[in-house]
A and B are shown apart, each in its own frame.
Chain A
C-alpha cells in the first residue's frame, strides 16, 4: 500500500535536523521506500508485512532508528496521552465479544459533542494525505487513523438500542446497509455488531452501519477502537469489494497495544475540538494482553547469512534502536519482539533482515559463490528453438510476439479464464493461427511480400490436470505465392535435416486442395497451406520437429565424376501433381541425381536435371538413353509431352 506523510506532521514525532530529502534517501536505503516528495509530502510504499509503519508515527519511529546509522541525529517524540482509566465493564455500554474475532475491544462514551468544522491545521493535513474534511467528528477518526495507523470508528451513541453490543460472526444471507448507503447481503463469517434490539449496526473493521451513523443532530458519540481478526476482515472486504482504508489496515493484523494510543488520542482530540466530555472509564475488553515473543538465533548464523561478521555490540544496538530487547548467552542471541512487530518477526531470518538493513546493505561484501556447478539440463530445447528462429530470420522472416489470450471464437476448445480483462482475451489459445492472422491484418497496408512468425506455447486442456503447454511454431505469409511460402517451409525442414513426407489432405480454415501435412514416420510434424483469407500459413509442433531434427547430416562421399546437367521442358495434362512426377523420376531412374523445377510457363514445366553415375562420367550416348527412358516413362505414366 502507498501512504502519504506530510513532512510537518512527521516532525511532530521525529526530532531531527535532517532535510526531507535526507529523510527520504535514508528511509529508502534501510526502511520503507520513499517514491517521491511532492509539496513536502512523502509518498511511501509500505509492504504488507510492515503495517506498523503505515502511519505518521510509524514512519517517525522507523526514521528515528535509521537516521543515526547514517550519522544523522534523530529522536522519536512519543505520542502524548491523557491519563486513561480502562475497565472491562462500564455502565454506559454492555458488550458481548467473540475474542477470536476481536482480540481487543475498546470504547468510550463522549457526551455533548458539538458537531462543526475542524480547525484549519487539521483540514490541511487531511487534505495533504488525500482525505476530504467533513466535520470534526469524522475528521478526528481519519486524523487518528493516519497519525497512528489505527482505524477509529464513531457511533451515534443514542442510536445503539439498549446500550448493548454483541460482536459476532454474521450468518449467511443477513443484510446490512453501510453508511455509504450500500446494502450488502452477507455470506457469513463477516464480523458484525448487533445492538440490544437485534439490529446489525456495524460491518466491523470495514464500515459502520447507516442506522448507527453520526449525523448533524448527534449529541453523544461512542468512540470505538478495536483490533480484529485479519482473516475475517480480508475475506469480507474482498468478497464485498469494500476496500476501505480501515479494512486494508485491519486485514494486515494490527497491534492490539495500539488501541491504547488510538483511544487516548481520540479522547484528547474530541475534548479539544468538539467540546465533548469523555466518560472517566474506558471500556476495554482485552483478555490476552501481548506478551513479548522471543526469537533465538546466534552470531554464526547471522554471519553466514550476511556473508560477513558483525560485532555483538553493533547487533544489539541496531535491534534496540528498532524497539527489540536483546540478551546474549555466549554466541546465542535472544531477541524479544515489540508488540508492533509481532506479526512480522517470527524466525531467525527475520532478525537477520533487521540487522542487515540497518547495518546497511551497501556495507556487505559482494562476491560470487564458490562451490560445484549444477549439471546442465538434459535435452534442453532452447538451442534448437533459437536455431529455428535464426533460420527463419535468414529467410527474411520477421518474428512477432502476440498475446496468448484470445476470444472464444479463436479458441473454441481452449481454457476459459475466470476473471478475464475482456471478451477478446477470455481464452487461452490452442493455435497460433488466429493471432498471426490478426498480426498479418495489422499490416494490411503493406504491398511487399512479408512473412511473420512466432514460437510460443499453446495451451491444450487436459481433464483434471494442468493444460498441455505445447511449444508451437507458426508463420504467415502475405503477398506471396504458394510456391514461395512452401519453399521457406521446405527450406526450414531441410536445414534441420528432417526427412519429412508430404500428404495433401483438406483441413479446416484452409482452402480445398491447398493444404498439406508434413509427417515423419507417420507422425505429423506440422502443416502448411493457403487460408481462406488468402494468406499462406504454416504451423509446427516444435517438440516433434526437434525430435526429428538432426544436428549434422551424415557424410556422403563427394561424387568423383561430374554430372551432366540439362533443362527439359514438359507439358502435362491438367490436374497433374508435379510432386508425384518428381517422385516417379527418382524412383524409376537411378542416374538422375537431382531434379529441380524451374519456370512454369503456360502449363509448360521446365526441370533442371543432373545425370550422374558413381563410377564413371556418363557419355552423351548414355545420357541420351537415360533421357529417352525418362521421357517415355513420363509419357506413359502421366501423359507428359516433351517440349524441348
Chain B
C-alpha cells in the first residue's frame, strides 16, 4: 500500500504543477482529497492494515495529504491575476454591536487599581449620611463657617438625637470615621469612592459628582508619606514624568491641610498656555486632625494619618486631556457623546 500512496501523491503533484486555472485546481483537489478522492479512499483502507504497520502508513498518508494541500495553495497563488478566483479583501467586515462603559466607570476603575497596588482597600459608605459623619465628627460644629465651603443638601426628615440631620454627603470624607470604626485597629489604607452632592450647577459644577477619598492611618505617618503616596499616584496614574506639590490650605478635619497640584501634562511644570503656571489643581489633602481620630475611636497619641479627597471627574479629565467644555455633558445620556468613549 505504501507504493500506492507514494505514486498517488506523485501523480497528484505532477498534475497540480501543470494546472493553469483555479477551476482546474479545484477539480484536482476533489479528485484526490474529496469525499471519494483517490487519497481519501486510501485512508479508508487503512483499517485493513495490521496494528504496528498501520501507524506508519497512517503517517505517510497524512504527510502526503499535507504535501498535496500546500502545493495546491502555492499553485493557486502562482496563477496570474486573471486566472485567479476574484476576491476583494478590502470589503468592510461585519462588526459586532459595540457597547460602551461610561468615562466615570473607567476613571473609577483606574483610580482604584492604582491605589490597590500600594495596599489600599476600596470601600463605599452611605451617600445619604448623618450630619455627624459629614461634619460634626470631622471637627465642624453646627454653626461653623467652614461648612459654607460645602453647599449641602439636607433631607427633610426628623433628626437623629445624636447624629443630627440626614445630609447628602458633600464629600467622601464622611467615610473617614466610618472606616476607622470598621477597622478599629490600624493599619488603615482606604480608598472610598462614592457619589457626592452639592447645591450647585454650572459649566464646571454638577449637583451630583464622584469623589475618591484616601485615608492612611498607622504609627508614625508623616507629611513625607503623604507626599510619597501622591507622587506615586501622579507617576502611575498621570504618567511617569508627572509630579505633585503641596500648598497650604485649611480644612477643619486635617492639620496641616494642603491643596495638591500636579504638573501640567503638556509643559511638565514649565508653564504654558493651558496651565499658565505649570501646575494644575487636583484637590485637598492633609494630616488627619487628632479630634477626628478620637471621634473615630483611634488614639491620636499612638497613631497619625493623612487623607485626601478629590473629584473623580476632574482628576480623570486632567489625566486624559479630554477637553470637555461642560462637565454636565458627562451626565447627559446623549448617545452621540456616550459612544465616543
B333 contacts across to A, CB distance below 8 A: 400, 402, 438-440, 442-443, 452
Most buried by A among B122, B188, B335: B335
Bound-state CA distance A403–B168 (Å) is 13
Most buried by B among A29, A349, A393: A349
B128 contacts across to A, CB distance below 8 A: 415, 428, 459, 466-467, 469
CB-based contact A469/B127 at 8 Å: yes
CB-based contact B207/A421 at 8 Å: yes
The reply on B304 being an interface residue by CB < 8 A is yes
The reply on B247 being an interface residue by CB < 8 A is yes
A307 contacts across to B, CB distance below 8 A: 222-225, 227
Q: How far is the CB of B207 from chain A (nearest CB, A)?
A: 6
Q: How far is the CB of B250 from chain A (nearest CB, A)?
A: 3
A440 contacts across to B, CB distance below 8 A: 333
A49 contacts across to B, CB distance below 8 A: 146, 250
CB-based contact B122/A371 at 8 Å: no
**Interchain CB contact (< 8 A) of B245 among A305, A362, A397, A452:** A362
Given the interface pairs A357-B248, A369-B228, A416-B155, the reply to whether A421 lies near B199 with Cβ below 8 Å is yes
A30 contacts across to B, CB distance below 8 A: 248
B250 contacts across to A, CB distance below 8 A: 47-50
Bound-state CA distance A376–B104 (Å) is 24
The reply on B23 being an interface residue by CB < 8 A is no
The reply on A636 being an interface residue by CB < 8 A is no
The reply on A19 being an interface residue by CB < 8 A is no
Given the interface pairs A231-B143, A357-B248, A361-B246, the reply to whether A366 lies near B227 with Cβ below 8 Å is yes
The reply on A425 being an interface residue by CB < 8 A is yes
The reply on A114 being an interface residue by CB < 8 A is no
A418 contacts across to B, CB distance below 8 A: 153-156
Bound-state CA distance A308–B121 (Å) is 28
A396 contacts across to B, CB distance below 8 A: 96-99
Bound-state CA distance A416–B156 (Å) is 5
Kindly specify which of A196-204, A260-268, A384-392 makes contact with the partner chain.
Answer: A384-392
Kindly specify which of B6-14, B31-39, B85-93, B212-220 makes contact with the partner chain.
Answer: B212-220
Kindly specify which of B48-56, B61-69, B255-263, B318-326 makes contact with the partner chain.
Answer: B255-263
A238 contacts across to B, CB distance below 8 A: 143
**Per-residue A-contact encoding for B161-196, CB less than 8 Å = 1, 0 else:** 000001010000000000000010001111000010
CB-based contact B143/A377 at 8 Å: no
CB-based contact A304/B222 at 8 Å: yes
Chain A 204-259 residues near chain B, CB threshold 8 A = 230-231, 234-235, 238, 248, 251-252
Given the interface pairs A47-B249, A368-B118, A373-B119, the reply to whether A399 lies near B229 with Cβ below 8 Å is no
CB-based contact B109/A386 at 8 Å: yes
Given the interface pairs A28-B247, A373-B187, A417-B153, the reply to whether A353 lies near B256 with Cβ below 8 Å is yes
Number of interface residues of B (CB under 8 A): 88
Given the interface pairs A371-B219, A402-B331, A418-B156, the reply to whether A29 lies near B224 with Cβ below 8 Å is no
A29 contacts across to B, CB distance below 8 A: 245, 247
**Interchain CB contact (< 8 A) of A392 among B99, B112, B123:** B99
**Interchain CB contact (< 8 A) of A364 among B189, B207, B223:** B223
Bound-state CA distance A361–B256 (Å) is 11
The reply on B105 being an interface residue by CB < 8 A is yes
The reply on A450 being an interface residue by CB < 8 A is yes
CB-based contact A466/B130 at 8 Å: yes
Q: A48-B146, A392-B99 are in contact. List 9 more A-B contacts (CB 8 A).
A: A349-B287, A361-B258, A362-B245, A374-B187, A394-B99, A397-B99, A398-B100, A464-B158, A469-B127
Instruction: Offer 26 A-B interface pairs, CB within 8 angstroms, sorted by A.
Output: A30-B248, A33-B249, A251-B145, A304-B220, A307-B222, A349-B287, A361-B223, A367-B225, A369-B225, A371-B219, A373-B119, A373-B187, A386-B105, A395-B97, A395-B99, A396-B97, A396-B99, A399-B102, A401-B102, A402-B333, A403-B331, A415-B166, A442-B334, A466-B128, A466-B130, A467-B166
Interface residues, chain A, with chain B CB atoms under 8 Å away: 25, 28-33, 47-50, 230-231, 234-235, 238, 248, 251-252, 304-308, 347, 349-350, 352-353, 356-357, 361-362, 364-369, 371-377, 380-382, 386, 389-390, 392-405, 415-421, 425, 428, 438-440, 442-443, 446, 450-452, 456-457, 459, 461, 464, 466-467, 469
Interface residues, chain B, with chain A CB atoms under 8 Å away: 96-102, 104-105, 109, 112, 118-119, 121-124, 126-130, 143-146, 148-149, 153-158, 160, 166, 168, 183, 187-190, 195, 197, 199, 201, 206-208, 216, 218-225, 227-232, 245-250, 255-259, 277, 287, 289-290, 304, 330-335, 338-339
